Amino acid sequence: MQINRRNALAAFAVAPFIPTRALAACEESAALPSLKKAAAEKALIVGSAISVLQLNDDDKALFASQVSSVTPENPMKMTVIRPSRTDWKFERPDAIVDFAVENAMQIRGHTLIWNNDKQPDWLNPLSKDEMQAVVDEHIEKVMSRYTGRVKIWDVINEPVGTQPFGKFSLRKGPFLERLGVDYIANSFRRARSVDPHAKLVLNETHTERDDSFGLGYRKALLTLLDHLLDQGVPIDGVGLQGHIQSGVPFRPDAFGVFLEEIARRGLFIEITELDVNDDKFPDDVTARDLKVAEAYRRLLDVVLANEAVKSISFWQLGDRNSYYYYRASYSDPSAARRPRPLLFDHRSRPKPAFNAVIEALQRAPARA
Ligand code: GLA
């Protein structure tokens, strides 16, 4: 069986609710500085991915005190919402949207169309016209359900890949295969017509890497953006995921130039899925936590210096809820070493990474 987020979640139940732990976490979080307050002082937004598993009292308190934006981690994806062409499952995204609205949080709709090889099997036999109809009805139905509550959408996730397609380098998947590169432009146009007030984002991965792979992604993304903007496609912003990899080079100056390239195209920027894969960092927890904190600091110092950047979102807040943690627990349940990619440990205690982010926000230049 392929390991993915869904079956890993099923295999590893979350920790039981323990009132004393909840109390301790509350006391600790009450004394903590707040990411969202530090960000607000610079007219920035800090957010996090969230799943329905975090809709418990402990996690809800942590999210409410620390972030002003949430991104449904998986529940709004087509794979979850549409087990078949005609079945629509909105319970999980509805629960997250309700939580966010109750707490006056912004919601990043993630994601309308994600062209990759993990999309629902029922897409495979569709003809070109049927595929276009599915894309249109999907955007229409999902966006209109949340109009007025979800105001920013990742319309397209991860379009870039290694598949040559004319002057483009794109990711393989059913939408590209059946509809060609126009699946991207048409999805943005559709999204604009469904909700003219929503901000529409193209979300991409790997661009913070300074190896040839990441540099290829930067180039391919700019080529694609120019193509879309030249045609008047309604894109408002670019999401850069920021899944930082240990052991992969990162050059702040070069990344800063790339951010400026996006900004000078008139687009806003969001860092949408920040975390640090610590697999190449030392086993020793203290040393590793410092390395993770340093990786956040290096990225955020250059990111927050660019005024086109409007928000930063983490891909969960606590280590135990990280995608990397689930993946590692699934592949080696008895391993002594566990990933520590995020800002809070398994008891919701802040780690050096948390302080590094607070300090980066405090150092950031004030925005107009
Ligand atoms: C990508 C997607 C996210 C999530 C991560 C892995 O970055 O955009 O939704 O699936 O992969 O956790």
CA of 196 to the centre of ligand 1 (A): 26
150 CA to centre of ligand 1 in angstroms: 19
Q: Look-up: residue for tokens 């002003």? A: 68
Helix (H) or strand (E) holding 275: strand 268-277
Q: How far is the CA of 211 from the centre of ligand 1 (A)?
A: 21
Q: Tell me the CA–centroid distance for residue 148 and ligand 1, in Å.
A: 25
* pLDDT (0 to 100) of residue 14: 32
* Residue 157 in contact with ligand 1 by CB distance below 6 A: yes
Q: Does the beta carbon of 54 sit less than 6 angstroms from any atom of ligand 1?
A: no
β-strands 45-50, 152-157 pairing: unpaired
Cα 330 from Cα 209, distance rounded (Å): 27
Rounded CA separation 9/5 (Å): 6
Backbone angle region of 173, left / alpha / beta, with phi > 0 → left and psi within -120 to 50 → alpha? left
| Ligand 1 atom nearest residue 273's Cα | 7
Which residue, by CA, sits nearest to atom 3 of ligand 1? 73
User: Which string of DSSP letters, residue by residue, matches 231-249?
Assistant: TT----EEEE--EEETTS-
Q: Would you say the CB of residue 204 lies under 6 angstroms from ligand 1?
A: no
Among all chains, which residue has been given the structure tokens 């912004």?
106
The predicted pLDDT at position 28 comes to 52
Please tell me if the CB atom of residue 273 comes closer than 6 angstroms to any atom of ligand 1: yes
Report the mean per-residue pLDDT for the chain.
Answer: 93
Alpha carbon distances (Å) from 175 to 84, 134, 161, 192: 16, 10, 14, 19
Residue closest via CA to ligand 1's atom 6 equals 323
- The rounded distance, in Å, linking the Cα atoms of 80 and 100 is 19
Evaluate if residue 349 carries a pLDDT over 90.
yes
What angle (nearest 5°) sits at the alpha carbon of residue 73, between those of residues 164 and 93? 115
- Is residue 194 within 8 A of residue 144, CB to CB? The reply is yes
pLDDT tens sequence across 316-338: 999 999 999 999 999 999 999 99
Check if 323 has its Cβ closer than 6 Å to any atom of ligand 1: yes
Q: How confident is the model at residue 30 (pLDDT cuts 50, 70, 90)?
A: low
- For 249-299, write each residue's pLDDT tens digit: 999 999 999 999 999 999 999 999 999 999 999 999 999 999 999 999 999
Q: How many CA atoms lie within 13 A of 20 on its CB side?
A: 0
Residue 141 — φ and ψ, nearest 5°? Answer: -70, -40
Question: d(Cα 12, Cα 115) in Å, to the nearest integer?
Answer: 28
